Amino acid sequence: MSRPRWKRRFLLLTGLGIVLGGPLLALFLSLQHVPEFYQKALDDSKVTPIVAEKVKQRTEKLIHEIERNDSGINQWTETIKEQECNSWLAFELPKRVPDLNSQGILNPRVRFENNMILLGCEFQGTRLSGVVSIALRPSLSHSNTLILEIMFAKIGQVPLPLNRLINEAQDFARREKVSLEGLVVEWEQTPDSTHRGRLTLKPSHPTEIQFLATSIRVLDEMLEITGERRVDESAKQNQHQVEGDGVLSN
């Protein structure tokens, strides 16, 4: 083979390598991207087991106080700081869902900013690995219904199709027996986008004592939820009717 022909073939192969390898390299780098909010949360020295335990005790105390009062309407407000939530995710969540790591979901963290919750975690899959980030915009509707508008979901900088993500999350909940009792989950994808949608969580049936969330606000590094404890007389009457029918049937 003559030298000029060898050079031409070498340059051709090099060019093909650049043309084909360029997009693959760009995809690889996009998958390896770590969002700034997530890295900052991982490096936060205020995320500790002591903080996680304090959050757990405070929440349990609030629930106990609301349940103990059996008359009138109790107003309550719970404020959760970013470091408190991340401490709970880092040290309490693995205890409650011990198989989370075995499913390739590691080190979940959140970022609270104006009207937005950024949720991130490391994902180690058989085909893809990287940091998954999801942007949520929460709001409350009627009847204690929480609406989570999903603005985007990404692995690195690569968008994820939400339908598949929601289906896999539901499959995981079923496999790990994560209780959704008393809750209806509805998913609606935005018609003009595969990367945006709306997740709705609402009670499946009324109960005699309802713990209603009346407002939710996402501030900078803080989540604030206010609510009330209400006795639903109609549910109470229905429960007494069911009990009465049971007595008569015996």
Please provide the size of the chain in residues: 250
Q: How confident is the model at residue 210 (pLDDT cuts 50, 70, 90)?
A: low
Note whether residue 126 is domain-resident: yes
**Is 60 exceeded by the pLDDT of residue 101?**
yes
- How many structural domains are present in the chain? 1
Are 110 and 82 in contact, with CB atoms under 8 Å apart?
Answer: yes
Query: Over 80: is that where the pLDDT of 89 sits?
Result: yes
Average pLDDT in the 135-154 region?
A: 87
Tell me if 212 is assigned to some domain: yes
Q: Report yes or no on 15 lying in a domain.
A: no
Q: Which of 23-27, 73-77, 154-158 has the lowest mean pLDDT?
A: 23-27
Domain of residue 174, residue span: 30-249
Instruction: Indicate whether 7 pLDDT > 70.
Output: no
- Residue 52 CA to residue 56 CA, distance in Å, equals 6
Asked if residue 8 is part of any domain, the answer here is no
Q: Per the domain annotation, does 150 fall within a domain?
A: yes
Model pTM score: 0.75
Report which of residues 7 and 48 the model is more confident about: 48
Mean pLDDT estimate for the chain: 77
Cα–Cα dist 142/216, whole Å: 13
- What tens digit of pLDDT does each residue of 28-39 get? 556 678 999 999
